[in-house]
Amino acid sequence: MNRYERAAIGAVALMLIAGAAIFFYAPTDYLQGPVQRIFYLHVSSAIAAFGCFAVVLVGGVIYLRNESPAADRFARSGALVGVVFTTVTLVMGMLWAKTVWGAFWVWDARLTSTLVLWIIYAGYLLVRRLADPGRQAARFAAVVGIFGFVDVPVVHFSVTWWTTQHPGPVIINDALPPQMLATFLFTMACTVVLAAVMIAIRYRIETLVDEREQLFDPAKVLVAREPEPVQ
């Protein structure tokens, strides 16, 4: 068993423990009932997605600066994992909304900006999928990833910038009792660990893909720029 397999098993075990805490440790919400338990994974997935897109941002900046293949691989990995967690966020939110609001979707500022975030980074992945591998595609995707991150603070602050149906920031407002808060913080930590492990595994896959490209077509590999010769 290699280190990636051990890390994956550990991350899954943590998520199972978090699930047990959500259903057996955290009390049932008095107003919303059992559906409130969606909150723990819903918000944790959103935070994990923000972290993944921060990886895309940093990777894109580094790649535009020195064309580091490792930075580009991290950006590609972060984008894919971030889209996965954004999808989880949207799905969990829709399940909660159907019970509480009576509809799976409303054009609320938080929901709409989150959907836009998903579209931006899904577009990033589409660019990488359809474009020929090489520096031009990597540089264009880096720009998309960098400017796409602008939507992250929009999603985060949307409930305070605009009047929305979406609940406000319950953590900042100290609206959770101790058991709920402890469950949320533990679930958030476990979800972030899972996201980090997924990025590491995906980075390894991207490395193998680049090595295969180098074997069959060296011209398509994202090698770092050679230093200029001294005159």
Higher pLDDT pick, 102 / 43: 43
The residue with tokens 């280190």 is 3
Measured between alpha carbons, how far is 130 from 78 in angstroms, rounded to an integer? 18
Measured between alpha carbons, how far is 229 from 231 in angstroms, rounded to an integer? 6
Measured between alpha carbons, how far is 219 from 200 in angstroms, rounded to an integer? 26
Q: Which pLDDT tens digit goes with each residue over 66-98?
A: 989 999 999 999 999 999 999 999 999 999 998
Tokens of 56: 């895309």
Q: How confident is the model at residue 35 (pLDDT cuts 50, 70, 90)?
A: very high
Measured between alpha carbons, how far is 116 from 73 in angstroms, rounded to an integer? 24
Number of H helices and E strands in the chain, helices first, is: 7, 0
